[in-house]
Amino acid sequence: MIKLVASDLDGTIIDKNNKINEENFKAINKINSNGLDFVICTGKTYPIVKDICNEFNANYGIFGNGNQIIDLKTDKVIYTSFLSQHELNTSIEIAKANNLHIHIYTNNDIITENLAYMDLRNYKLYEENPSINFTIVDDIQKYIINNKINVSQLIISSDNSLEDVKSNIAKKINVSMHLIKKRGIYKDFIIDKEYEYLDISPKKTNKNTALNILGNYLNINRSEMMSVGDNLNDYDMIKNSGIGVAVANSYDDLKSVAKYVTKNNVENAGFAEAIYKFL
């Protein structure tokens, strides 16, 4: 019996044009009316998606790919973690040695040396959101040190492959890393660009681990959870839930571990299809 539904946002409920099919709203209302816990499970930080959390009337939020868990009914922080200064220094130095773009997330800010890639995407989407500050600095490493910034995520972006950069970082520090390739059908249509980005978070930070922590907090087993996603950072979350669902536009690797793959993509309310099928 499902007691909790966890869902990714971008590519799962929200389409590439930042639109939400009306059927997805109806499906979320069904979750809430059935008395189930609805959990937003996203790589974005809380301030970026706070409004949509309220609009969906979500009970809990897993943010930054798992580095923060918040009880959205009370704003209580259940769990949080940050990268160490050594982890930040190592990642930044490797990125700069390869002339790569960097931006970081704090609990309230997006900090970069210039807007490009994912931070430019976020700027275009959330420029008028008063809960988010976009800060442009001359030297991101010095800024972190001088201002004693707590960093939840560091993002390295490039037009080219980041596989070697990921391997190099893994040899020097033990952190969680997700390499996402926004190419072909996964192109970033908000800024009309293909690229790759490497999402770096504290060790063992991922959506799957966060769901385990939240499950223990709520006394809900993973077998009693339904998870829906589309991207590779949803892989373990989908694989280890009682019902793991990949929407039709998902990466093939994710589809391979899902218990159900929707017939409809995100634009055509694949999320709602899954909710109506299992609840």
The answer on pLDDT for 38 being more than 90 is yes
Please provide the average confidence, as pLDDT, over all residues in the chain: 95
List CB contacts of 250: < 8 A, sequence separation 6 or more.
11, 229, 230, 231, 234, 258, 261
pLDDT for position 132: 86
Separation between Cα atoms, residue 246 and residue 40, nearest integer Å? 15
Neighbour-count burial of 156, counting CB atoms closer than 10 A to its CB (0-12 exposed, 13-18 middle, 19+ buried):
buried
Write out pLDDT tens, residues 63-105. 989 999 999 999 999 999 999 999 999 999 999 999 999 999 9
Over residues 239-251, mean pLDDT: 97
162 pLDDT band (50/70/90 cuts)?
Answer: very high
- In the numeric block, which tokens belong to residue 51? 């409004």
Write out pLDDT tens, residues 175-231. 999 899 999 988 999 999 999 999 999 998 899 999 999 999 999 999 999 999 999
pLDDT for position 264: 98
Closest CA to 178 of 195, 194, 201: 201
Separation between Cα atoms, residue 168 and residue 230, nearest integer Å? 27
Return the percentage of the chain with pLDDT > 70, whole number. 100
The answer on pLDDT for 126 being more than 90 is no
247 pLDDT band (50/70/90 cuts)?
Answer: very high
129 pLDDT band (50/70/90 cuts)?
Answer: confident
pLDDT for position 40: 98
Over residues 268-272, mean pLDDT: 98
Q: How far is CA 55 from the centre of its chain?
A: 18
The answer on pLDDT for 128 being more than 90 is no
237 pLDDT band (50/70/90 cuts)?
Answer: very high
Q: What is the identity of the amino acid at 75?
A: D
Whole-model pTM: value is 0.84
List CB contacts of 265: < 8 A, sequence separation 6 or more.
247, 248, 249
The answer on pLDDT for 48 being more than 90 is no
